[in-house]
Chains A and B, each alone.
Chain A
Amino acid sequence: MLDLPVQIIRGVLAGLGRFSLMVMEVVRSLATQRLSGRDLVAQMYFIGVKSQTVVLVTGAFTGMVLCAQTYFQFHKVKMDTATLAVVSVSMCGELGPVLTALMVAGRVGASMAAELGTMKVTEQVDALRTLAAHPIDYLVVPRVVATVLAVPLLTAESVAMGILSAYLVGVHLLQIDPGYSVVNMLRFTDHRDVLMGFIKSLIFGGIIATTGCYKGMHCGQGAEGVGHSTTEAVVYASIAILMSNFFLTLLLTRLLALL
Chain B
Amino acid sequence: MIEVRQLRKRFGDQQVLDGVDLTIEQGESLVIIGRSGGGKSVLLKHLVGLTHPDSGQVLVEGQDIAQLDERELLGVRRKFGMLFQSAALFDSLTVEENIAFVLARERNHTPEEITRRVAEALEMVDLPGTQKKKPAELSGGMRKRVGLARAIIYRPEVIFYDEPTTGLDPVVADSIDKLILRVCNRLRVTSIVVTHDMRSMQTVGRRVAMLHEGRIYATGTPQEMMSSADPVVSRFVRGISDEKEHTF
Contacts and interface: CB of A to CB of B under 8 A. Distances in A.
B172 interface: no
Interface in A141-194: none
B75 A132 contact: yes
Contact of A130 (B71, B80, B85, B90): B80
A126 B88 contact: yes
Interface string B219-242: 000000000000000000000000
A122 B147 CA distance: 13
A18 to B, nearest CB: 13
Interface string B47-67: 010100000000000000000
Interface size class of B (residues with CB under 8 A): 20 to 34
A123 B84 contact: yes
B169 interface: no
A10 interface: no
Interface in A106-157: 119, 122-124, 126-134
B182 interface: no
A119 B78 CA distance: 21
A194 B75 CA distance: 47
B91 A123 contact: no
Contact of B84 (A119, A127, A133): A127
A127 B102 contact: no
A124 B73 CA distance: 17
Given A123-B88, A126-B88, A134 B50 contact: no
A126 B45 contact: yes
A115 to B, nearest CB: 8
B40 interface: no
Given A123-B84, A123-B85, A130 B50 contact: yes
Contact of B71 (A126, A127, A128, A134): A134
B44 to A, nearest CB: 11
Interface string A15-51: 0000000000000000000000000000000000000
Contacts of A123: 84-86, 88
Given A132-B102, A133-B101, A127 B88 contact: yes
Interface string B78-110: 101110111011110000000001100100000
Given A132-B74, A132-B77, A134-B71, A127 B91 contact: no
Given A129-B70, A130-B50, 11 more contacts: A122-B91, A127-B82, A127-B88, A127-B90, A128-B90, A130-B81, A132-B75, A132-B77, A132-B102, A133-B102, A134-B71
For the complex of A and B, list the 8 residue pairs with the smallest distance between their C-beta atoms, beginning with the closest.
Answer: A127-B88, A123-B88, A130-B82, A132-B74, A132-B78, A123-B84, A132-B77, A124-B88
Interface of A: 119, 122-124, 126-134
11 contacts: A122-B86, A124-B90, A126-B88, A127-B88, A129-B73, A130-B151, A131-B101, A131-B102, A132-B75, A133-B74, A133-B102
